[in-house]
Amino acid sequence: ECHPDAAKDVQESLHGRAAGAGDRDAATCTDCHSGHRVEGLKSASPLKVAATVCGKCHASERINTKFRLPRNRVETFFESYHGLAVQGGLAKAANCASCHGYHRILPSTDPRSSIHPNHLVETCGKCHPGATENFALGRIHVDGVNGNDIGTQVNRWVRGIYLGLIFFTISLMVAHNGLSWVRFLIASYRRADRTVLRMDRAQRVQHLALMISFVVLALSGFALKFPDSWLAWSMGGEEMVRRWIHRIAGVVLLGVGAWHLLYLAVSPAGRRLFLDLLPSRNDLTDLAAHVRPGTRLREPGRAVPRFRYVEKLEYWAVIWGTIIMGVTGLAIWLKMPVTQVFPRWVVDVAITAHYYEAILACLAIIVWHFYHVMFAPSAYPMNWAWLDGKARPETEHGDPTAPSAKS
């Protein structure tokens, strides 16, 4: 009654005709403009129009199946330049309404439609002055597969050729570099100068158990946070399976921690390990030397410590992380007994701390640990101490310019 022109256009549109036929799934005014909080869409962002207004229905598998509509129209729009520009925040980028209109939306077979072949040049010309018929024949919703016209067929062949070329070329590169890396890996393991005993057998077994349990915990933990990812698939896609994998790995981690504490207390090698990992004044000197350009990392004749600040920082970070993850993990697992003693928010805080401590631990392993045991020039391609306990002297002190010596 207040918008007669818009009402007339809607009645003539696909939406209006479906609604007039009594189809309750047909789009009406309030589907696009909201209900009580009526929204004007003339100043709405292109992203909102495409994703929220039109995409709300046209990305629905149920709606598309019921009305026999193409299922990938929203997806292919966002893959086009228009869609990418919309997502990039370009306010003038074309959205769905730019081509299809808004109130009087008609099929491309209707001569009155803005996307009818007779009107395509005019429609494209609104944004692309000088558009010709050849220009207007370009398809926006291109998936590279569907369609039998010559352009789609050529595009499909080019796509297939490039996919094959990419797979073949990159596979050869990966194979070449992989074999080269394995060759360097074997050569580094067989080097005769790996004379420093970095880790005894007990320490290596503890490290291996820690490594395996940590990886399993990370995979199974993030699989819960990202249930649609390959991580969830790797856990069997079942929450019960994932949960018990995570809990078993957590028990193993806590068991390794308890074993390590006992090892430090009763074993002479453990007590020496603990003393060697205590911070010292020289750690600050070494840290300053590492971050100051042009500074020799170790002066000739200076005693070489068994562990540098690099290993000490990581060791105490592991102790801290294991305590945090153990306490919060048990609080989450045993939330019923915990909430009989503590308020419910304690469990909520434990969940938050558990998640972000996991992120911190994973990033620290990737950025800090992997660098110093694999990618640092003195360790590349790998420090083998985790396997047989032996390391090169320069790997031990991390300074390839330092004189060779044993600790």
> Residue 394: what pLDDT?
58
Instruction: With H, G, I as helix, E, B as strand and everything else as coil, classify residue 208.
Output: helix
Report whether pLDDT(291) > 80. no
> Residue 144: what pLDDT?
55
Instruction: With H, G, I as helix, E, B as strand and everything else as coil, classify residue 52.
Output: helix
CA 364 to chain centre: 16
Q: What is the pLDDT of residues 218-241, one digit of tens each?
A: 999 999 988 888 888 888 878 899
Q: How many CB atoms lie within 10 A of CB 52?
A: 14
Q: What is the pLDDT of residues 170-184, one digit of tens each?
A: 999 999 999 999 998
Here the tokens at position 198 are: 């970095």
Kindly state the percentage of the chain with pLDDT values over 70. Answer: 92
Kindly write down the DSSP assignment for every residue of 166-185, as one continuous string: HHHHHHHHHHHHHHHHHHHH
Q: What is the pLDDT of residues 125-174, one digit of tens each?
A: 999 999 999 998 888 887 755 667 787 788 888 989 999 999 999 999 99
Q: What's the distance, Cα to Cα, between the start and end of the chain in Å?
A: 91
> Residue 96: what pLDDT?
92
> Residue 401: what pLDDT?
42
Q: What is the pLDDT of residues 294-337, one digit of tens each?
A: 655 555 545 567 788 999 999 999 999 999 999 999 999 999 99
> Residue 380: what pLDDT?
86
